[in-house]
């Protein structure tokens, strides 16, 4: 991937439009997740976020001694 253009290369999930975006037509950074290596990976961005958040919540609970 390169850093040329507004998107910086790669594929993004746009939170505003609920779609994959790439190239020069991507929405501003505050409205997108990524970059991802493929459009398919970008399509699963929200699923990836959910999995990571669950893992981090479990780690926080383990760290503080809470049972989850």
The verdict on residue 38 lying in a domain is yes
Is 1 a residue whose pLDDT tops 50?
no
Domain that holds residue 30: 11-62
The verdict on residue 2 lying in a domain is no
The verdict on residue 19 lying in a domain is yes
The verdict on residue 53 lying in a domain is yes
| The total number of structural domains that make up the chain | 1
What pLDDT score was predicted for residue 6? 61
The verdict on residue 35 lying in a domain is yes
Long-range Cβ contacts of 7-16 (<8 Å, 24+ apart): 7/35, 8/35, 9/35, 10/34, 10/35, 10/36, 10/37, 11/35, 11/36, 11/37, 11/38, 11/39, 11/41, 11/42, 12/36, 12/42, 13/42, 13/43, 13/45, 13/46
Give the predicted TM-score (pTM) of the model: 0.75
pLDDT tens for 2-52 read 444 566 789 999 999 999 999 998 999 999 999 999 999 999 999 999 999
The verdict on residue 6 lying in a domain is no
What pLDDT score was predicted for residue 43? 97
């Amino acid at each position: 991937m390169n850093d040329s253009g507004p998107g910086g290369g790669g594929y993004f999930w746009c939170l505003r439009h609920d779609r994959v975006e790439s190239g020069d037509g991507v929405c501003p950074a505050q409205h997108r997740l990524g970059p991802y290596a493929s459009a398919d990976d970008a399509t699963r961005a929200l699923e990836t976020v959910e999995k990571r958040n669950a893992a981090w919540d479990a780690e926080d609970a383990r760290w503080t001694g809470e049972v989850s």
